[in-house]
């Protein structure tokens, strides 16, 4: 009897706890009306008479900014962007409120003159070939299993080790692989050999991607290695200060599993030279990066196997 009474008491206690928990209601806050969202898009004509410098300002407290300015995106409360080429640019702004996302009508800014100083930088030139040119890149992989520069088209790195630094007086980027905490759990690099570590990448042609400065920052990616992406056309922006590359409406090349596992829109440049480039994309669920190893198509096409 004592056992039955004890079980009955525990059952009733459990039911009372469930009942008390069921009374709690988790509700979203109020979603703001469009009229309550205040933001500004201001062209700094004193700095750029052509309107190339644009200041984005979210003036609505307790909201998260979501800017899309065509050549890139931002979540900053206040940000400054530069358009090197003349044209009409729609600025899209959405505010993340307690009750959800509020999307505002786009504001179109008119840029009336080119200011190529914003793309006339050694890093822009390495990426694109310079103003008026374009440059095509391919992954360091092919059907023969050649390793032209890297041991694999993909490496893996801990979050603390995926950082590029300026080299050669700011004319290139190098991956030093030096962490602030050298023995920390996120300070590591793994470079597989894709000819023997066959899980890393299939031996095949993964297509190409082209960064252009012909009339605008245009980006094209032909994803031969990923059937559901095919050919994409978009734009891109290179932040030479943070060494972050962003693409809009198109994604960089990846290998077998990159696009599903990683955030492909915001890319860290770990190294960049005339012939090689390493781009790091953040894993969606882990504090690690997949590092994609590229060669300029010109270099790759003219590469010859070393004499054995």
Residue 300, SS3 per DSSP: helix
Q: What average pLDDT does the chain have?
A: 89
Residue 16 has pLDDT above 70, yes or no: no
Looking at the predicted structure, is the pLDDT value of residue 28 above 70? no
Indicate the pLDDT class of residue 3, thresholds 50, 70 and 90: very low
Q: Where are the domains of the chain?
A: 37-116, 122-301
Q: Is the pLDDT of residue 235 over 60?
A: yes
Fold of 37-116: Immunoglobulin-like (2.60.40)
| Terminal alpha carbon distance of the chain | 87
For residue 60, CA distances in Å to 41, 44, 56, 77, 92 come to 14, 21, 13, 9, 16
CATH of 122-301, one of 1.10.3470, 2.40.128, 1.20.5, 3.30.70: 2.40.128
**Phi, psi for residue 146 in degrees, rounded to 5:** -70, 145
CB within 8 A of 297, min separation 6: which ones? Answer: 136, 137, 138, 208
């Amino acid at each position: 009897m004592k056992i039955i009474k004890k079980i009955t008491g525990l059952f009733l206690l459990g039911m009372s706890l469930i009942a008390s928990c069921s009374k709690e209601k988790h509700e979203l806050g109020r979603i703001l009306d469009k009229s309550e969202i205040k933001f500004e898009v201001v062209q700094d004509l004193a700095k750029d008479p052509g309107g190339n410098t644009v200041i984005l300002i979210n003036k609505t407290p307790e909201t998260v900014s979501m800017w899309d300015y065509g050549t890139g995106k931002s979540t900053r409360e206040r940000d400054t962007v530069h358009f090197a080429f003349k044209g009409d640019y729609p600025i899209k702004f959405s505010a993340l409120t307690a009750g959800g996302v509020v999307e505002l009508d786009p504001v179109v800014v008119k840029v009336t003159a080119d200011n190529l100083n914003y793309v006339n930088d050694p890093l822009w030139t390495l990426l694109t070939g310079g103003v008026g040119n374009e440059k095509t890149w391919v992954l360091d992989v092919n059907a023969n299993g050649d390793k032209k520069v890297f041991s694999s088209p993909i490496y893996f790195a801990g979050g603390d080790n995926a950082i590029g630094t300026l080299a050669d007086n700011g004319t290139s980027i190098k991956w030093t692989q030096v962490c602030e905490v050298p023995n920390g759990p996120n300070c590591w690099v793994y470079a597989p050999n894709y000819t023997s570590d066959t899980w890393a990448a299939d031996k095949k042609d993964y297509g190409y991607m082209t960064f252009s400065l012909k009339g605008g920052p245009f980006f094209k990616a032909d994803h031969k290695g990923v059937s559901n992406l095919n050919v994409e056309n978009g734009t891109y922006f290179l932040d030479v200060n943070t060494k972050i590359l962003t693409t809009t409406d198109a994604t960089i090349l990846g290998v077998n599993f990159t696009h599903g596992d990683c955030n492909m829109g915001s890319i860290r440049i770990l190294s960049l030279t005339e012939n090689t480039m390493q781009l790091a994309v953040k894993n969606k669920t882990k504090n690690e990066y997949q590092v994609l190893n590229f060669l300029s198509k010109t270099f790759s096409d003219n590469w010859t196997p070393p004499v054995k």
